[in-house]
Structures are given as structure tokens and as C-alpha cells.
Chain A
Amino acid sequence: MSRTDWKSEWKPLLIIVLVFLGTFYLPLGNTRFDNALMESLHLAKWYAQEHVLTCLIPAFFIAGAIAVFVSQASVIKYFGAKAKKVLAYGVASVSGSILAVCSCTVLPLFAGIYRMGAGLGPATTFLYSGPAINVLAIILTARVLGLGLGVARALGAIVFSILVGLLMHVIFRKEELEKADARMAMPEPEVTRPLWQNALYFASMIGILVFVNWGKPEGPAGFWHLVYSIKWLITGGFALALAVILVSWFGVRLWKVSLAFIPSIILGLFFPHEPVIAFAAGVVGLSVLTSRDKGEAGDWFGSTWGFTKQILPLLFFGVLIAGILLGRPGHEGIIPSEWVSSAVGGNSLGSNLFASVAGAFMYFATLTEVPILQGLIGNGMGQGPALALLLAGPALSFPNMLVIRSVMGTKKTIVFVTLVILLSTISGLIYGAFF
């Protein structure tokens, strides 16, 4: 029998004690707390009903496809030590959409660009924009927080990341870093089909995502309303296109694809008023089809499944916690609305700055910034501060500041954090002035 080793066992002990004390003093019966619990469940239910099937699942398939079918080597070569500087900044500002689907890939890439590649400027550009513009983040932001914030988040991240990079480069231009001897180890290129075929493949999935989520327009007539009234037909059309693409270019047998999609079509005919049933059947069909495939389609599903496993639990707990703390829009959680609106309401310099600083130091697990922001906006946070937090939030957190410091030193880290806070505040002020 080994004795208990408290050096390693203190963590589980601490957790047990905290959970015990939390449960012991659970403020059941307190109206605010009971309401907050209900709010949290309502919010989770709303996400489950509105966002999981038609938004998150297509987004996971798209993210999985990006990870498998977009050649990362072709992007990374622009970060090399010999790459043209202008190009390096441009690529660094947008490549997060391809390279940074998982937030843990951002820091190694940043360190690599800094030490072995194009240097400080492009590295900090990538570090700022990467986490903010990955596809999943943008899709979910646009869907839950509105198209305006979704687009502003992407554009703001791209534009301001280039500014951050250039400023870092100018401020520290005298310090030439000794480049590490190591050569960058490139991932092997894996593209096996022409670019236009890949483009059509992505277009078919983005088409599904866009049209299945087509919102009901305010007016009773007009073009947008026409699109809305036939959105399921359009979605089906894109699904058919995807099926054709899978058969013609991905080497999936026709009979398998037919078998996967026929249940969806039949269910669509039987339940024309509940098109979600047909959609769900289509998702199941596609999953069964791709997961049993031994080739590229199998890799696609593997990567999609990886994202799903990784992100869904985080998001689920993120939504529950955001619900308890902040409630749904129009309802209060544990935190009183006045606190939120007095700290980050309106569009004052103070609100924007507070949102930026809070975002910079706080840690957000992948995508959880979205439900938290939704709660804050529902409690009176202004649009400007919301954007400021969205820009500063995922780019930085206290734990990753420590890692960044170990890579580029204290001085540069402090300057970088300050720049991020300043530029996020400014972009919040600009956005808030217009919306």
C-alpha cells in the first residue's frame, strides 16, 4: 500500500472540498438564484433548439473539411524567413480562418513565425487575428449575436491585426532576433484535386449553412421573403450538389450516396411542414456515409468528429454558466443588469476600455465568448464594448500571456497587450458610434 501523496493529490482534494462547500451552502430558495438556474436551462434549451442542428453541425463539417482539404503547407510557406514582408502580413491576418480552428494551434504557430519565420510583425498579426477569425467563431457570432457583429468581428480582427503587427515591428525594429537554426518542419501537402473543385465543394456546404439559417424578413413580400419561403428547397439543392461532388470528385460510390440521402428525401416528403426532420436525416446519412469511408471522405468525418467532441462540451457548459450568471436577453441571472450596464453600457471610452481589459485577461474556452457576450448584451452591454471584448477576448488571456512572455520576453509582451487593449478599445468606439 502506498501512502497518500499530497503533493499530487491536493488538486482532487481541493475540487472535492470546493464542490462540497458549494453544495452545502447552495442558495436554493433565494429567488434570484432559483431564477438564474431556470434561466440557464432556458438558454441551453434555446441553443439546442435554434443553433445545434442547423448551425453548429454544418459548421463542424465545414471546419473539418478545412482541416483536411485545405493545404496548410501552402499557407505556411508565406510565413518563412524569406517570404515577402507585405505578403506575410496579409496572409497572417487572414490565415487564422484556416489554421486556427483549434485555439491551441495558435501559440505554436505564433512562436514559429517569430523564431523561425517572418519575424515579430507577422507573428503578432497572426496572434491577434487567428483566434478571432476561425470559421466556427465567425459563424456562431453572426448567428447568435447578429450579422453586424459577426462581420465587424472578422473585419476588425483582420484590419487591426495588421496594425498591431506593423506597430510591433516599428517599435522593436532595432532588435534583430537571432533566428533559430531549426528549419520549419512543413506539413506535407495533401491536395489531390484542382482548386476549383475544392472551391465548389466548400461553396455547396456554405450554401447549405447560409440558406438553412435564412431568417424571416420583416416585410411580407419582396425578394428576401421569396428566398425565405423556399429556403428548404434551396438547402436541398445545395445538399444535392454536395452529393454530386462527393460522387464525382471524392471517389464515393453513387449507391452509397443515394442510400445516405434517400431517407432524408422520403422524410421530407412525408413531413413537409417539419423540414428539420429531413435535415437531421440528411446529417445522419452523411455522417454514416463518410465515417465508413476509407479514403478522403473518412478523413473529413474524422476531423469533423474531432471538433464536435472537443467543442460541444465546452459550449454546453459555457452556455449553462453564461445562463446562470447573466440570464437570457430580457431576464436577469445572478449578476444584476445594472452592474453590467454601468460597467459596459453605452459607448463611452470607459465602457470600451473596461471591455477590452476584461477581455484581454479573461480566459474564454473555444467559442464560449459567444453565449457570454449574448448574456452581457441582453443585460445592457453596448455594441461597441461588445466588439471590443470580442476582439481582445479570444486573442489574449492571462495564461496565454505567460506563454507569450516565455517566447518573446516581458517587454514585448507588455507592449503587445497594451496595443491589443488600445486597438480593441478604438475599434469598439468606432463600431459603437455607428450601430
Chain B
Amino acid sequence: MAKIQILGTGCPKCRQLTENAEKAARESGGDHEIIKVTNINEIMKFGVIMTPALAVDGNVKSVGKVLSPDEIKKILN
């Protein structure tokens, strides 16, 4: 089971990324948990300065862009 972490302070792009991640998680079937990280100091701990960013189990996979559900699925598999 993987933890998908969405890093972002709550702007529209972060919400879009969250939706895409939920879609990707549903379609890829695996047991994924989506966690939103909105506190800016928590986001800094990932080393991320361009939001929205996406991390899986604490490893940052993308920064500064909204990945499509397909791109997220590729990261998950």
C-alpha cells in the first residue's frame, strides 16, 4: 500500500492534482491512501518549493505541475 502525498497550500491547481490522483488511484486498483499536505512548513520538509507537488511514500515524484491521471498511474506502477 502506497501513500500518495499531495503537497500544496490549497490553490486550484493543488485541488486538480488531488482529483487526478484520486482518479489514478481508483483506476490502478491498488490500495492507495491519498494525503493532502497543506501546511507550508510540512511542505518544506519535502524540499518542495514549487507547488503543487506529488510524493509517494515521502519521495517527491513531481514538482510545480499538475500531473494527468495517466502520468500518476505510471508513477504508481
Q: Which residues of A contact B (CB under 8 A)?
A: 72, 76, 79, 102-105, 107-109, 111-113, 115-117, 180, 182-187, 306, 309-310, 403, 406-407
* B74 CB–A CB distance under 8 Å: no
Q: With contacts A187-B64, A406-B41, A407-B41 known, is A108 near B13, CB below 8 A?
A: no
Contact between chains at B50 and A187 (CB < 8 Å): yes
CA A113 to CA B49, docked complex, whole Å:
8
CA A112 to CA B50, docked complex, whole Å:
9
Q: Write out the residue numbers on chain A whose beta carbons fall within 8 Å of the beta carbon of B64.
A: 72, 187
CA A104 to CA B15, docked complex, whole Å:
12
Contact between chains at B44 and A182 (CB < 8 Å): yes
Which bracket fits the contact residues of B?
A: 20 to 34
Q: With contacts A108-B40, A406-B40, A406-B41 known, is A185 near B65, CB below 8 A?
A: no
Contact between chains at B13 and A306 (CB < 8 Å): yes
Q: Write out the residue numbers on chain B whose beta carbons fall within 8 Å of the beta carbon of A102.
A: 11-13
Q: Which one of A116, A306, A310 lies within 8 Å of B49 (CB-CB)?
A: A116
Contact between chains at B50 and A183 (CB < 8 Å): no
CA A113 to CA B44, docked complex, whole Å:
10
A79 CB, min distance to chain B CBs, angstroms: 8
Q: Write out the residue numbers on chain A whose beta carbons fall within 8 Å of the beta carbon of B13.
A: 102, 104, 306
Q: A interface, by DSSP: helix, strand, loop or mixed?
A: helix
Chain A residue nearest to B16 (CB atoms) is: A306
In residues 1-60 of chain B, which contact A (Cβ within 8 Å)?
A: 8-14, 16, 39-41, 43-51, 53, 60
Contact between chains at A104 and B46 (CB < 8 Å): no
Query: Interface centre among A103, A105, A113, by most B CB within 10 Å?
Result: A105
Contact between chains at A111 and B40 (CB < 8 Å): yes
Q: Write out the residue numbers on chain B whose beta carbons fall within 8 Å of the beta carbon of A116.
A: 44, 47, 49
Q: Which one of B10, B40, B46, B47 lies within 8 Å of A407 (CB-CB)?
A: B40
Q: Write out the residue numbers on chain A whose beta carbons fall within 8 Å of the beta carbon of B14.
A: 104
Q: Which residues of B contact A (CB under 8 A)?
A: 8-14, 16, 39-41, 43-51, 53, 60, 63-66
CA A107 to CA B65, docked complex, whole Å:
16
Q: Write out the residue numbers on chain A whose beta carbons fall within 8 Å of the beta carbon of B8.
A: 104
Contact between chains at A108 and B45 (CB < 8 Å): no
Contact between chains at A183 and B48 (CB < 8 Å): no
CA A79 to CA B53, docked complex, whole Å:
19
Q: With contacts A182-B44, A186-B63, A187-B65 known, is A112 near B49, CB below 8 A?
A: yes
Q: Write out the residue numbers on chain B whose beta carbons fall within 8 Å of the beta carbon of A117.
A: 49
Chain B residue nearest to A115 (CB atoms) is: B44
Q: Write out the residue numbers on chain A whose beta carbons fall within 8 Å of the beta carbon of B41.
A: 111, 406-407
Contact between chains at B40 and A107 (CB < 8 Å): yes
Query: Interface centre among A113, A187, A310, by most B CB within 10 Å?
Result: A187
Contact between chains at A185 and B51 (CB < 8 Å): no
Q: Write out the residue numbers on chain B whose beta carbons fall within 8 Å of the beta carbon of A306.
A: 12-13, 16, 66
Contact between chains at B10 and A104 (CB < 8 Å): yes
Contact between chains at B40 and A185 (CB < 8 Å): no
B38 CB, min distance to chain A CBs, angstroms: 11
Contact between chains at A108 and B49 (CB < 8 Å): yes
Chain B residue nearest to A403 (CB atoms) is: B40
Q: With contacts A111-B44, A182-B45 known, is A104 near B9, CB below 8 A?
A: yes
